Structure 1
Amino acid sequence: MSTSGIVHDDTFCFSGRYALGFFETASKSSKWYLGIWFNTVPKFTSAWVANRNNPIKNTTAMEVTISQDGNLVILNHSTKSIIWSTQANITRNSTTAMLLSSGNLILKDSSNLSEVLWQSFDHPTNTFFPGVKLGWDNLTGLNRQIVSWKNLMDPDTGAYCEILDPSGVDQFLFTPLNSSIPYWSTGVWNGKYFASLPEMTASNPVFTTTFVNNDQEKYMTFNLVNETMVTRNVIDVSGQTKQFIWLEGSRDWTMIYCQPKLQCDVYAICGPFTICNDNALPRCTCMEGFTITSPEEWELEDRTGGCSRNTPLDCISNKSTTHTTDKFYSVPCVDLRRNAPKVEAAASASECAQVCLSDCSCTAYSFSDNRCSIWHNELLNIRALQCSGSTSSTGENLYLRVSAEDFHRMKNNRKGIVIGVATGTGVSALGLFALVLLVKIWRNRSKSSTNILGGVQGCTRIIAFRYTDLQHATTKFRDKLGAGSFGSIFKGVLNDSVAIPVKRLDGAYQGEKQFRAEVSSIGAVQHINLVKLVGFCCEGSNRLLVYEYMSNSSLDVHLFRNNPMILRWTTRYQIALGVARGLAYLHDRCRDCIIHCDIKPENILLDDSFIPKVADFGMAKLLGREFSRVLTTMRGTAGYLAPEWISGVAVTPKVDVYSYGMMLLEIISGKRNSSASCSSGGELDVYFPVHAAHKLLEGDVGSLVDQRLCGDVNLDEAELACKAACWCIQDHELDRPTMGQVVQILEGLVEIRIPPVPSVLEAMAESSHSM
């Protein structure tokens, strides 16, 4: 986490890498802090805050000085009051404050500079400095721990901390503040590394870690192997520990390590009455019947307030009633294992529901394996699972208690509003007939229909479906094919014969005008290597997209799963070439440049002839031809994200080039880049993209190709594909080719030299072996 800080004129001292002074985290926030930041980094980044819980409103009346008792203090001139103090037990007043080159602010006796009376290293905030002792001082009782910021702009004490296990086990725990119940741990120290971090034994580490346990102290510390490297190790507002390195080339921090890796593993990361989903963006959404409690704090990634009810429960608003009208709303396919319900005696689900209704504090129940589980008050840690149907082997149905008013509104949102029984039946039948007719019109490319959007660039028109018709075609969205960006995909059938995939966009807050404009632009795209958009639905809050059906599923099914039919090399190469052509069309030949933003094997569909089709434009960003780049929120899938996504700068079509390069390596190897590559001699496995770049330099392309092909490979094509892939994943976007140039490379029309090993990826790989 980097703060966009503003430094006050009174910067008191510099010590090479670090500086000490007043700063505020946002322009005109009127909240100033005394702190230490990285002096050699042009992007303001706080490292330590003195008065994190007591910001200064008026710096003109403040000064940092040594008080009469010898402590370093922030003093208010006008009131003579102390805002902050080192609070050391000092028996003399001849003290001196110094900022060391290590970033340690120390207080010493002026007559004996070898004696440290107080030091900031004993009171870390959210940053773990090299040289800091994280743990206990048994003699003084000091417990050094790091605690996250409250949000991205507020250094106040946050919700998460990293502490030495208080039970005495030699490990560190990540817990909610003021709790010893961990949501992640380093594992036990075995003398060389922590059990959950075997990568600490790498032969070329970035850090060296030491764990000390004796009568006086018990702590962990780390030091840099290369002292010139600028790094940060923080506990983020996300509750994750993150390591960054500063790269001069990109002029920004690059994250090289994160634990726990899944955001939803962090305790209560989304707050009460929310659902956390590691496979969707945004990660946190409110349960139905609830809205975000504080949108402002939510935007700053402080979601501790979670979501609040739209309508109070009947038992709360009508306390004198003897019969509640509250209802239960089903939340399917969720993980409830991290909750602590109260188990009640109930022989059936209906009895379990009655037990909950009899207690006003009961907010939800579940019933499975003849076990009635009851939840009271706030619901935390509800996690969405990837399910093919309504449930999975580990997923459960949670029955959420809501007011009758909200229940009926949510039920109508799911099922559609039926106006009249007799007329409703007739309208549905007529709608289905119209639906089939419209599809036939679309297939015959007719130009007359009031329910079709006019396409741009003279392309095929798009059908505007009704929500109730798509409900009927998908049997009320029962057959889930999978999950894509921002939504789920369901199988539908038109006229009992025409199969269609229907994507329902989840949490779509996009306005109707903007949604229709983007549908028009994307629907105008016509290319053999792009999935055709058949139609859409935009009714109320419902946003759905209908695509053409692909009989051979997606590329990941053939590359990574236990599929008996292995894709031949010629097929793989044509798939790689086809995808490159499709992306080149999106970037260069549409009215608006379309940046896909989520290129990965799951989004490459294959027809009955294995012709690839780029699909899932749910994250796509339109870029007008008069602009060279666009600023947007981070989107995409981990493992395929270009470095500029992480730095937060405006992006260009080169982010798709990077993702394509990552995917091309997977096409070549037949396995995920994140999977361990083959190793020998007992060495640790290496990150495959870095391994591939090195093998390419060594001229050993054959070892990179999927071994299941048994050598049936055109090595000239394999070398060409490897070169193209490694150029695509270069650190800087200017070093990457365009997708049009990639097409020319794969077609053998241009010469291409061997690319350098991407330094960001290599640094990330090395750092992952150093912890």
Structure 2
Amino acid sequence: MGRNSNDPLWESFRNPTDTLLPNQTLERGSFLVSQKSQANFTQGRFYLRMLDNGNMVLVTQSVPSNMDYDDEYYNTQTSDTTNATNSGDKLVFEENGVMYVLKRNNQRQILTPRSIPSGSDNYHRVTLNFDGVLSHYYHSRILNSSGWNILWSQPNNICIEIDGDKGPGSCGYNNVCSLGSNNRPVCNCPKGYSLVDPNDAYGDCKPVFSISCDEVGRGSPEDLYSFIMIRDTDWPKSDFQIISPSTEQDCQNACLNDCFCVVAIYRSNSCWKKKLPLSNGRIDTNLNSKAFMKIRKDGVPPLSIPGFPNSGSSRSKNWRNLSVVLSALLGSSVLVNILFISVFCWGFFHIYKKKMKILRPTSHVADSMCHSFTYKELVEATKDFKEELGRGAFGIVYKGVMPIGSRNVVAIKKLDRVAHEAEKEFITEVNVISQTHHKNLVRLLGYCNEGAHRLLVYEYMSNGTLASFIFGDLKPTWSQRTNIAMGVARGLAYLHEECSTQIIHCDIKPQNILLDDHHVARISDFGLSKLMMINQSRTLTNIRGTRGYVAPEWFRNSQVTVKVDVYSFGVLLLEIITCRKNYENEESYGPEAILTDWVLDCLQEGKLEALVQSDFEALNDKKQLERFVMVGVWCIQEDPSTRPTMRKVCQMLEGSVEVTFPPCPYNFSITI
């Protein structure tokens, strides 16, 4: 019997690429493959496979050989070698949004959460993202402005789950992976390294300086190299020697005196020496480790002057050629020689001086990637400061367009409270700000310090402020809110403990938390509080901050520490949990008008569900809800010594440290 003429030879619905739609299935032997990057739709290196043994797995591949690496970073465990009928048969994505592995005995292993937005009111899709995370999205059929929201994703932490000996990991070689919102990885080159391809943040990083065994004997290692210390960062697959037992200082010395060693990891009285390329880089707060990264003391190699290259062979060749010319000229008359030498010296000095001026403009910002702009350039970039993005205590922010690396759109802040005569202090503080690099901080790209004009150029954050996100008409998902809260906590922990100069923000609030393209929380305006003090009296009682977020010690004659940020974060955390401002209208809210008081009442009375009414995702995870609320109350304790550090806050939010029931935060015997 011949084939029906109406039967298709091939159809796209039976051959998905990176996305499953409702009513689609994946039979044994079928797969999804990610795209290469967010903007590149060619084949990537992450695969979802329905294996012949019945398992659904996520794996990485070697591109372009298309050979699977051995390590599976997610596995449904639906194969059964002892009973074939218990093994998975196919992956099914139903019309109602439920996805499961259907076994040969017709039993189902459900992969989606129990509570799923209605299929009749929402569109659903499951996509293997370019970064290797499998995500289930839903989109309201009624509210077009709601966008695609995350229902669930796997794996829970791709930075850690990809742990094979082959391949670079979730980020490229020498790159470092940290967990962003919705379980998506965020990749950042460590200090002293830059992207091989500036347009691929998830790709390989290269050192911007040289570490070579050829330099052995040319000087002591102490003269050539120093270390940058990074906490809780590791490249677990790049070890070439383990020293145990070891002290922290012995670990540094061992790496310093080994020309192959680029990083030493110290943890639990042991030292791991690592060499290039570094693979499977990740940030993991459970490590409790210190990474000592070796860098040259003189930073990047000195820039070459045209005609005088740095490379030894070409430089020797150029000088040989020059010596031939000089020999010929010196054989002529004395007068000609004097004229030639005078002109040569004048020209060399003039060109060298001009070149140095180009290489080192008026910045004075040492060892940073910060650009110095003229005021005219920023006027042109903003079209005479036409489009205002927002305003706050430090000045007005405008949208601008200018090419800085791979970026075009930038945010330009005009500072209006810096003393114009304090140029040295301004440059010092800008230098400190520019050297802070963390995925949860808005990066400073450049500045202007020209006459009366003081401006800062930042990354542009496309999704605006956290305030507009959590206080808007559409309530963000619980997973979005928890990821944002943890991102802010990690950013503050970095400012307090990990960057070279400790920074107290002094004004943590939703308006100073921005959201990038992937809704990753990015802290803005850090370092500006100290910068604004340039023309203010530096008394302990000089209150800075915003009403409702200001810690009690600001009102007392007591020392202000990083704990003021912990207090502000506690208020912010409670706002993120409830999607409510810390102060509301008393006529409308009554006894619930003051958020901190209401949260405390609900916690003590065991009525936390009142804080997240109709938020089914939050209600389905009451343990996490209770943990987050208790952390918020610990942070707003009136006594600063009782508040946890931001590092401990991170551990408490993640669940790696137990959170005990907090005491009442208020000491009513103290008058504020």
TM range (shorter): 0.3 to 0.5
Structure with the higher helix share, 1 or 2? 2
TM-score by length of 1: 0.37
